[in-house]
Amino acid sequence: MSINIYFNVLAKDLENAVEISCFAPERTLVGVMVKNFATDDEAVARVEEFKAKGVRASVGLGGGDPAMWKRVADVSVRTCPFHINQVYPAAGYTMGRLKEIHKSEFIVNSLIEPAGEPGIVYMATGAISSRKKEPVSAELAAKLIADIGLPSVKFYPIGGLKRLDELKAMVSAAVNEGITIFEPTGGIDMENVHEIVRACIDGGATTIIPHLYTSLVDPETGRTNPNCLERLAKMRW
């Protein structure tokens, strides 16, 4: 079975994005968080800068802010990045718009949240639905994601290793519905990433996209440390 591991990371600027992508250019996804840009045009310009330099962009909300869902969709449609982060209620809409216009390869994920118990999750991650969260089974969540035809589950926040049992239950439910891309997010660093990715692989996921954000950022410079990407690229799973 072929296993694909991508690394979703941040970059301070274009130079930093190019610097950290050189170790595994096909497997490094650099975040463009729309919340950090005053206008869609500015976010689009950053994605296009990345693409021109061979950097794979991952368009995201910014702190999981559901209010940014429409901007994520709009920026993604204009740029067709390799990877798009989206809340569950808007993920099908986003993927549908992209497929109408673009024929190139891309991944749209669906953000769902652990609910504090293995096999139970929150799907109400949208701007309105998140005001009234009610738990559902991981099995039902996976079936609803599969109904829309979404290829990936983003599971956030996992708190590092704190919710490993919940992560394993969601991976299993997703794989049972044919969803084999899984994206653990929240509290992942160089010390725990291998165990988290390994848990996803053991659950049957064939593409895993751990999101390693501020844990790789030098607090003094604001730049993502290229040595971390070099180590990640050399890891054996």
Inter-residue contact 32 to 49 (CB < 8 Å): no
Q: Is the dihedral of CA 163, 168, 170, 171 positive or negative?
A: positive
Q: Is the pLDDT of residue 98 over 80?
A: yes
Using pLDDT thresholds of 50, 70 and 90, give the confidence band for residue 179.
Answer: very high
3-state secondary structure 68-79: HHHHHHHHHHHH
**pLDDT at residue number 63:** 87
Q: Where are the domains of the chain?
A: 4-234
Q: Does residue 1 have a pLDDT over 80?
A: no
Q: What is the DSSP letter of 45?
A: H
Architecture of domain 4-234 in this structure: Alpha-Beta Barrel (3.20)
| In the chain, % of residues over pLDDT 90 | 97
Q: What is the DSSP string of 205-225?
A: -SEE--B--GGGB-TTT--B-
Confidence of residue 103 (pLDDT cuts 50, 70, 90): confident
Q: What is the mean pLDDT of residues 113-140?
A: 96
pLDDT digits (tens, 9 = 90+) for 36-89: 999 999 999 999 999 999 999 999 999 889 999 999 999 999 999 999 999 999
Summarize pLDDT for 145-170 with one digit per residue, the tens. Answer: 999 999 999 999 999 999 999 999 99
Q: What is the mean pLDDT of residues 210-232?
A: 97
Q: Are 42 and 33 in contact (CB under 8 A)?
A: no
Q: What pLDDT sits at residue 137?
A: 98
In this predicted structure, the answer to whether residue 174 has a pLDDT above a threshold of 90 is: yes
